[in-house]
Structure 1
Amino acid sequence: MALVELRNVSKSFRKGEETITPLRNVDLDIAEGEFVSLMGPSGTGKSTLLNVISGIDRPDEGSIVVGGVKVNRLSRSKLADWRAANLGYIFQTHNLIPVLTAYENVELPTLLLKLPAAERRKRVTLALEAVGLNDRAEHYPRQLSGGQEQRVGIARAIVAHPLVVVADEPTGSLDSDTSEQIQDLLQRLNKELNITMLMVTHDTDVAKIASRQLLLDHGHFVEATQTC
């Protein structure tokens, strides 16, 4: 059974007098440990797909199952708890809290889970080690490079041991050299830690680091490529 299962998922929005349907009867399976990249022109449903998987938006039709849980059937309060325990997020602009150190930024998801202090320290230390930033643990975001900030964001995304890590344009704000470093890191974390990843990107070269690339256009998957 797939870790992530979407069946007949549709989602529409009203924009003035117009109805926009970014997702039309979408089916998708993502296996545990798989790395999937999602491409497509702007406005074709990529962000909407991430949002319905994570429970930020509810689909108009269809079902979404992640780790055996019917996400679109959860109440708002249960959904927030489920999201904190099972989903990690990597953002394009890092979204670090400037008054917190790298360590404290990474620790935040573990506080939401109310883990014991010793377990929090263990997880944060291991997450920072996984992204190569143990020596920057006490640095604030302003003291880090853009690439280091993104590494902190990645550590924060994996610290709670989520079922799925969702990455929205994770290299979009980085220069080419730093982008390649982050791509290598994401590939390594996927392979070495068996982290399931779903990444949105507009860059075809970045998309190729995933084991499978999907192209979303006008609400449908129109192409799928297996790279390894």
Structure 2
Amino acid sequence: MALVELRNVSKSFTKGDDTIQPLDGVNLDIEEGDFVSLMGPSGTGKSTLLNVISGIDQPDEGTITVDGVEITKLSRSKLADWRAINLGYIFQTHNLIPVLTTYENVELPTLLLKLTAAERRQRVQLALQAVGLSDRARHYPRQLSGGQEQRVGIARAIVAHPKVVVADEPTGSLDTKTSEQIQSLLQRLNRELNITMLLVTHDSDVAKIASRQLRLDEGKFHEQLPGGVA
């Protein structure tokens, strides 16, 4: 069984008199340790896919199973508990809390877990070490560069040891040099820590850092073969 399984997943929205169907009976398997990138034209459902995999939204049809748990059967409250333990989310715009230090921002997800203070401290220290920010633990977001802020966001996403990390345009607001550094970091975390990762991007160069490349178009997945041929 794959770590993440989508079976016949569909999702549609009504916009005025039109019905938009970003996901149309899609199937997807993501194995533990996979690094999958997802591309597609704007409005084709990439964010919808992330939302249904993370349990933020429910599909109209189909099932989603993560590590043997069929999350499409969970109630809202149980989904919230499941998300806290199993899912890490990397945002494009960092979403750090400005009045909290780097350490405190990274620590936040661990407060939802049944951990001792010592266990939380160890988790945070290891996450900061993994992203190269141990020396910035007491800095506030305003004292960090854009790349450092994104590293804090990545540390926050991995601190709870989630089953899956989803990254929504994680380099979209960064300059070229910083973007390349973040890409290298994501590759290293996937390779060295075996973190299963799903990356959404509009940049074909960023998509190539993943071991598998998918396109989402007209509600269907298209796997990219080596050389970029679908």
Same fold judged by TM-score > 0.5?
yes
**Which residue identity does 2:51 align to in structure 1?**
N
Find the aligned partners of 2:66 and 2:226 in 1 and give their Cα distance. 22
State the partner residue of 1:76: 76
- The verdict on how the C-alpha distance between 1:58 and 1:164 changes in structure 2, with shifts beyond 3 A counting, is same
State the partner residue of 2:90: 90
State the partner residue of 2:56: 56
1:64-112 per-position Cα deviation (integer Å, ceiling 9, x unaligned): 0001000110001100000000000000000000000000000000001
| Equivalences for residues 16-165 of structure 1 within 5 A | 16-165=16-165
Tell me, yes or no, if the aligned pair for 1:38 and 1:46 is still in contact at 8 Å.
yes
- The verdict on how the C-alpha distance between 1:192 and 1:21 changes in structure 2, with shifts beyond 3 A counting, is same
| Displacement over 6 Å in runs of 4+ | none
**Which residue identity does 1:29 align to in structure 2?**
D
Find the residue that maps to 1:55 and give its secondary structure.
Answer: coil
Instruction: Give 1:114 deviation, angstroms.
Output: 3.6
Find the aligned partners of 1:193 and 1:18 in 2 and give their Cα distance. 44
Find the residue that maps to 1:115 and give its secondary structure.
Answer: coil
Q: Percent identity?
A: 82
Find the residue that maps to 1:139 and give its secondary structure.
Answer: coil
Find the aligned partners of 2:145 and 2:114 in 1 and give their Cα distance. 30
Tell me, yes or no, if the aligned pair for 1:213 and 1:226 is still in contact at 8 Å.
no
Tell me, yes or no, if the aligned pair for 1:37 and 1:210 is still in contact at 8 Å.
yes
Aligned alpha-carbon RMSD (Å): 0.9
**Which residue identity does 1:214 align to in structure 2?**
L
Structure 1: stretches of 5+ with no match in the other structure: none
State the partner residue of 1:215: 215
1:174-219 per-position Cα deviation (integer Å, ceiling 9, x unaligned): 0000000000000000000000000000000000000000000010
Whether 1:177 aligns to 2:177 is: yes
Find the residue that maps to 2:37 and give its secondary structure.
Answer: strand
Equivalenced residue count is 227
Find the residue that maps to 2:186 and give its secondary structure.
Answer: helix
